[in-house]
């Protein structure tokens, strides 16, 4: 199983996707007891470097950091190219989170190619490492997006579906992840990662209901509700075509 984090912080701000340093340390203590656990970070926040790296090394983890390429050194609070190169020198991996963090399913064909290929080429040029993995912003993907990812040089697409079976779709490997939220306790995360049988099916039910709601009210309205629930502003350009 793969777990993914976003921004880290010293004290809780109330944002659903910002996890405190004390929380992630408790998680890492638990995760090192489990087998075959991988850790990823999305969005390239500077807090991942300042707070996350010392804790990852303390508990013996290496991670994949998915970064929006056009944010680097242009958006406040994100890692610089020198930060990313240092991550790589320490044994971590840096991969793509698109160019501008656009919802890929809402992009035109031309914009989609720009988001995918532009990000990969810039990261490879600046960091000197292969970039063949992408994390889909907001977890949004479909068959068209998968085909575009494959045609843009990627071989792996990481999603936000914790129950998705890892496998080949549209000629590219699609990989599910568990997104950690500040409201998740350490025992609950362990349960989500280790559940089997009927217990696993029961734990899947909230995700199934969420997908049904999204289908019922539409993606854009669902995203507005998600932003309200997560205590964050709706990002500019989410519905960009």
Please report the domains of the chain, with CATH numbers, ordered by start residue.
Answer: 2-230 (3.20.20.370)
Q: For residue 67, what are the CA distances in angstroms to 85, 131, 156, 171? A: 13, 11, 15, 24
User: What phi-psi label fits residue 197: left (phi over 0), alpha (psi between -120 and 50 degrees) or beta?
Assistant: left
pLDDT for res 183: 94
Helix axes 186-194, 197-217, angle to 10 degrees: 100
How many residues are there in the chain? 241
pLDDT for res 58: 97
Closest CA to 150 of 169, 127, 176, 125: 169
- List the pLDDT tens digit at each of the 241 positions of the chain: 899 999 999 999 989 999 999 999 999 999 999 988 999 999 999 999 999 999 999 999 999 999 999 999 999 999 999 999 999 999 999 999 999 999 999 999 999 999 999 999 999 999 999 999 999 999 999 999 999 999 999 999 999 988 888 999 999 999 999 999 999 999 999 999 988 787 777 777 777 677 676 667 777 776 677 566 666 665 655 555 4
> What is the rounded CA–CA span in Å between residue 184 and residue 41?
17
Q: For residue 82, what are the CA distances in angstroms to 1, 47, 88, 218, 222? A: 30, 15, 10, 40, 37
Closest CA to 95 of 116, 53, 121, 65: 65
Given CA atoms 219, 202, 3, 171 in this order, what sign does their dihedral have? negative
pLDDT for res 241: 43
Closest CA to 141 of 104, 184, 180: 104
pLDDT for res 146: 98
Query: What does pTM read for this prediction?
Result: 0.90
CB atoms within 10 A of CB 233: 8
């Amino acid at each position: 199983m793969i777990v993914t984090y976003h921004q880290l912080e010293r004290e809780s701000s109330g944002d659903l996707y910002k996890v405190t340093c004390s929380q992630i340390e408790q998680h890492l203590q638990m995760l090192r007891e489990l087998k075959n656990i991988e850790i990823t970070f999305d969005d390239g926040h500077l807090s991942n470097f300042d707070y996350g790296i010392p804790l990852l090394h303390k508990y013996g983890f290496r991670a994949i950091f998915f970064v929006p390429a056009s944010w680097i050194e242009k958006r406040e609070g994100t890692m610089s190219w020198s930060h990313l190169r240092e991550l790589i020198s320490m044994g971590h991996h840096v991969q793509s989170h698109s160019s501008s963090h656009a919802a890929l399913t809402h992009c035109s064909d031309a914009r989609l190619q720009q988001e995918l290929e532009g990000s990969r080429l810039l990261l490879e040029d600046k960091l000197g490492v292969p970039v063949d993995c992408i994390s889909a912003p907001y977890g949004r993907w479909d068959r068209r997006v998968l085909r575009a990812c494959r045609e843009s040089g990627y071989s792996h697409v990481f999603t936000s579906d914790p129950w998705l079976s890892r496998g080949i779709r549209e000629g590219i490997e699609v990989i599910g992840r568990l997104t950690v939220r500040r409201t998740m306790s350490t025992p609950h995360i362990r349960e989500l990662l280790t559940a089997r049988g009927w217990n696993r099916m029961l734990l899947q039910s909230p995700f199934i209901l969420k997908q049904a709601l999204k289908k019922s009210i539409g993606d854009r309205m669902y995203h507005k509700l998600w932003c309200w629930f997560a205590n964050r502003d709706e990002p500019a350009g989410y519905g960009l075509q």
